[in-house]
């Protein structure tokens, strides 16, 4: 052995000893933190039956602080993800949070659920967006996670329409970068692919790539990406477009990575529940408004936003379910309903609208 390797080995040993010591400290601090969370639970329990254990506004603040405080070498996102998991475990000690999401397992909505609640939440896949709403309304789960818009393909109508017949609120949002891959099973012959399965939204998000690489291959829309991945197992002439989780879950091989047409392709998901969330300091508010069907109605609706200098982030129109050619507007803007300016604007809009429902004020997605 040369002198160099001896000193290299020695250095490695010292570094590992240091890491062991640091791990000991981290473990002690995490236990101390978990003990605090248990005490918090006692304080919350004293408020009675409806004690709210999961506090979206507080969690957003903890994550933002973790990012602000970070000075590297880990990225801010990586640091926040670690804190996300610590909080998830602490919350589970207080009370395990139950979450339903649009399934099946392996979908991007499952990935969004994990990103938002961490691995200690108890999550359950359901077959349809309506079912997620229903289970939260029935109290079978505490929260639901549903997709609401995609940066390439636009709004998910089904989610918006569900709010028309529901009393649920929006308690949070989470954004997910969507990377699609073309995947095959171990029996697929890559040169003989005649059929590609995926969800219609995903096929649309990869349209140009498919036109360029598989122009004459049949595109088959199925109920989810996970379903597409499942079908490919055992089909020698088929491929699927889906995400990492589906590839892993069904043991598929990725043939082409990141085939989405737009590199910034992302989907926004909503956390639905029954809770009214206090301000986190950086929030968004979502409204559902119906207007009288008369000239200038849309102008009257939007005017207070300009006057109170409120930053609109989205306006969607959906046919109302109460009559032909009448519409419901879904409006998102920056800020919390309880802050001055916004509270006044909402009062004025309420006075000129035939119906106004604040779907919720909630922390802007952190991760």
User: Binding residues for ligand ISJ, per CB under 6 A?
Assistant: 37, 40, 54-55, 58-59, 62, 87, 90-91, 94
Give DSSP secondary structure letters for 269-287. Answer: EEEEESPPPPP-SSEEEEE
Task: Name the closest residue to ligand ISJ (Cβ).
Answer: 90
Residue 139 CB, nearest distance to ligand ISJ (Å)?
A: 19
Name the residue nearer to ligand ISJ (CB basis): 249 or 367. Answer: 367
Name the residue nearer to ligand ISJ (CB basis): 202 or 275. Answer: 275
Residue 43 CB, nearest distance to ligand ISJ (Å)?
A: 9
Name the residue nearer to ligand ISJ (CB basis): 55 or 180. Answer: 55
Residue 55 CB, nearest distance to ligand ISJ (Å)?
A: 4
Name the residue nearer to ligand ISJ (CB basis): 62 or 155. Answer: 62
Residue 248 CB, nearest distance to ligand ISJ (Å)?
A: 28
The answer to whether the bond into 163 is cis (omega within 30° of 0) is no
Residue 52 CB, nearest distance to ligand ISJ (Å)?
A: 8
Name the residue nearer to ligand ISJ (CB basis): 115 or 199. Answer: 115
Name the residue nearer to ligand ISJ (CB basis): 62 or 249. Answer: 62
Please choose, from the candidates 164, 150, 173, the residue with its C-alpha nearest in 3D space to the C-alpha of residue 329: 164
Residue 33 CB, nearest distance to ligand ISJ (Å)?
A: 7
> How far, in Å, CA of 367 to CA of 60, rounded?
9
Please choose, from the candidates 337, 336, 362, the residue with its C-alpha nearest in 3D space to the C-alpha of residue 116: 362
Residue 138 CB, nearest distance to ligand ISJ (Å)?
A: 23
Please choose, from the candidates 356, 354, 353, 310, the residue with its C-alpha nearest in 3D space to the C-alpha of residue 333: 310
Please choose, from the candidates 285, 364, 322, the residue with its C-alpha nearest in 3D space to the C-alpha of residue 63: 364
* Residue 315 DSSP label: E
Name the residue nearer to ligand ISJ (CB basis): 54 or 214. Answer: 54
3-class SS letters over 209-258: HHHHHCCCCEEEEECCHHHHHHHHCCCCCEEEEECHHHHHHCCCEEEECC
> How far, in Å, CA of 165 to CA of 288, rounded?
12
């Amino acid at each position: 052995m040369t002198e160099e390797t001896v000193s290299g080995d020695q250095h490695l040993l010292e570094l590992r000893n240091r890491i062991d010591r640091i791990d000991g400290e981290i473990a002690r601090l995490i236990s101390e933190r978990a003990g605090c969370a248990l005490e918090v639970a006692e304080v919350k329990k004293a408020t009675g039956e409806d004690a709210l254990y999961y506090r979206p506004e507080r969690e957003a603040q903890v994550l933002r602080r973790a990012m602000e405080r970070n000075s590297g070498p880990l990225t801010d996102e990586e640091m926040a993800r670690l804190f996300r998991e610590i909080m998830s475990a602490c919350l589970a000690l207080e009370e395990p949070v139950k979450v339903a999401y649009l399934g099946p397992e392996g979908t991007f909505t499952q990935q969004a659920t994990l990103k938002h609640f961490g691995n200690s939440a108890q999550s359950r896949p359901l077959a349809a967006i309506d079912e997620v709403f229903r289970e939260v309304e029935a109290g079978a789960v505490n929260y639901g996670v549903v997709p609401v818009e995609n940066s390439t393909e636009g709004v998910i109508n089904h989610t918006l329409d569900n709010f028309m017949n529901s009393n649920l609120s929006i308690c949070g949002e989470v954004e997910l970068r969507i990377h699609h891959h073309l995947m095959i099973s171990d029996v697929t012959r890559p040169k003989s692919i005649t059929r590609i399965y995926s969800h219609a939204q995903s096929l649309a998000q990869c349209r140009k790539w498919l036109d360029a690489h598989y122009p004459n291959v049949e595109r088959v829309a199925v109920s989810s990406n996970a379903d597409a991945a499942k079908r490919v197992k055992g089909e020698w002439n088929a491929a699927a477009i889906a995400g990492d989780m589906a590839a892993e879950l069904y043991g598929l091989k990725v043939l082409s990575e990141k085939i989405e047409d737009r590199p910034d392709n992302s989907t926004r998901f909503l956390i639905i529940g029954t809770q009214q969330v206090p301000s986190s300091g950086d929030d968004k508010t979502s409204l559902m408004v119906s207007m009288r069907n008369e000239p200038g109605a849309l102008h009257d609706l939007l005017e207070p936003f300009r006057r109170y200098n409120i930053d609109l982030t989205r306006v969607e129109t959906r046919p109302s379910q109460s009559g032909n050619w009448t519409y419901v507007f879904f409006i998102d803007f920056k800020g919390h309903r309880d802050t001055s300016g916004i509270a006044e604007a909402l009062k004025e809009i309420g006075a000129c609208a035939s119906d106004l429902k604040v779907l919720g004020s909630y922390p802007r997605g952190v991760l």
